[in-house]
């Protein structure tokens, strides 16, 4: 009887969020933020040259992220192999992605960038299978298919949102940016188990700053900084901190909880957010097809976040084994 009374008086246990569920939210928020700053970079490239803009991004973020460079408990020593991985992730995900993405957005539009970036889920899943040997299950495959359908719908709806002829070179540059970002995602999977997400973010931003400095200084020498108003600087600071600091930390923290092949589907939030900003902020016209594309993306997320059996649930919850701080 006393045991029963104690059991009755015991306060109810609070529900604990699963690691996978938290990871899904972090991935979604990180990619949505990427899509937002990708779209808002278009007004910036209209007034700031591409190399200078990318260099200012890395420089502003480097100052803000100085405390993140310190080694934290549990961080692995940065040996030659880890240095190569950090350099490769920054080279593809920071340096080349910034050049291709900014140049592509300058030649197209936020909506066009959004529809091309919809290739991300399939590219990440394919690279995860090739490089990490991660299995692509039926649900993840169906979600990737839905993401592809969303891409086709957005392509039909927004290839030329401004009313002009589509820019082939601009779209090819955006496709190149997709390839670079996919490599960044998969390489990040190798890093999250050895270094904290904050330190990875700070280190790859620092590498990006070093790589971009010669090109940034070259364009800064002939640029008239008086052309930039207070609004331009505010947008530049938001772009810098979002691109190098917050979005990277959110994505790497989520990636430490979720297998890379499954996490790739959440990159659909990036093109959808870019298209939404283009529609709401930049005045691009939406249509019924955009709503159907959003529905496809929502269905893909439902598929990828509902494991079909307990084994999948354990893989989603603990398969990453990465560092979260």
pLDDT tens, residue by residue, 278-323: 878 887 776 677 678 777 777 776 776 555 544 343 333 333 444 4
CA proximity to 39, closest of 314, 231, 274, 310: 274
Average pLDDT over residues 59-74: 90
Average pLDDT over residues 160-184: 72
Least confident of 11-25, 196-210, 226-240, 304-318: 304-318
Contact at 8 Å (CB) between 206 and 69? yes
Contact at 8 Å (CB) between 55 and 235? no
Residue 197: inside a domain, yes or no? yes
Residue 102: inside a domain, yes or no? yes
Q: pTM value?
A: 0.74
Q: Who's near 174: CB < 8 A, 6+ residues apart?
A: 100, 101, 104, 105, 108, 112, 113, 116, 117
Residue 120: inside a domain, yes or no? yes
- Residue 159 confidence (pLDDT): 45
Range of the domain at 183: 39-67+80-222+270-309
- Residue 307 confidence (pLDDT): 52
Identity of the highest mean pLDDT range in 48-57, 110-119, 186-195, 269-278: 48-57
Residue 72: inside a domain, yes or no? no
pLDDT cut 70: percent of the chain above it: 75
Residue 216: inside a domain, yes or no? yes
Residue 160: inside a domain, yes or no? yes
| Dihedral (Cα; 174, 176, 181, 184), 10-degree rounding | -160
Please tell me the distance from the alpha carbon of residue 267 to that of residue 265, in angstroms, as a whole number. 5
Residue 74: inside a domain, yes or no? no
CA proximity to 144, closest of 310, 296, 21: 296
Query: How many structural domains does the chain have?
Result: 1
Average pLDDT over residues 204-214: 95
Q: Comparing 159 with 70, which gets the higher pLDDT?
A: 70
Residue 295: inside a domain, yes or no? yes
Q: What is the residue-averaged pLDDT of the chain?
A: 77
Checking if the pLDDT of 38 tops 90, the result is no
């Amino acid at each position: 009887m006393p045991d029963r009374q104690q059991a009755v008086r015991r306060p109810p246990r609070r529900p604990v969020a699963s690691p996978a569920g938290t990871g899904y939210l972090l991935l979604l928020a990180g990619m949505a933020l990427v899509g937002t700053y990708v779209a808002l970079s278009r007004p910036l490239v209209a007034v700031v040259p591409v190399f200078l803009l990318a260099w200012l991004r890395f420089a502003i973020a480097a100052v803000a992220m100085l405390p993140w460079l310190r080694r934290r408990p549990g961080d692995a020593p940065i040996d030659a192999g880890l240095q190569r991985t950090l350099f490769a992730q920054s080279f593809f995900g920071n340096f080349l992605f910034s050049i291709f993405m900014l140049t592509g957005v300058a030649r197209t539009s936020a909506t066009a960038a959004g529809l091309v970036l919809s290739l991300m889920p399939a590219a990440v899943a394919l690279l995860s299978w090739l490089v990490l040997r991660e299995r692509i299950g039926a649900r993840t495959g169906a979600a990737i298919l839905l993401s592809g359908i969303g891409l086709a719908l957005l392509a039909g709806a927004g290839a030329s949102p401004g009313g002009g002829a589509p820019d082939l070179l601009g779209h090819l540059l955006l496709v190149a940016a997709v390839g670079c970002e996919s490599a960044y995602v998969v390489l990040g999977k190798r890093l999250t188990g050895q270094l904290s997400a904050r330190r990875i973010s700070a280190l790859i931003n620092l590498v990006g700053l070093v790589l971009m400095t010669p090109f940034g200084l070259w364009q800064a020498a002939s640029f008239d900084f008086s052309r930039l108003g207070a609004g331009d600087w505010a947008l530049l600071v938001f772009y810098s901190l979002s691109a190098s600091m917050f979005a990277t930390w959110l994505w790497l923290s989520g990636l430490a909880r979720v297998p890379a092949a499954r996490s790739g589907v959440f990159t659909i939030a990036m093109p959808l957010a870019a298209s939404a900003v283009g529609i709401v902020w930049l005045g691009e016209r939406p249509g019924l097809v955009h709503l159907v594309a959003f529905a496809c993306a929502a269905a893909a997320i439902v598929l990828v976040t509902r494991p079909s059996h307990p084994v999948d649930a354990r893989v989603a919850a603990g398969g990453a084994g990465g560092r979260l701080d």
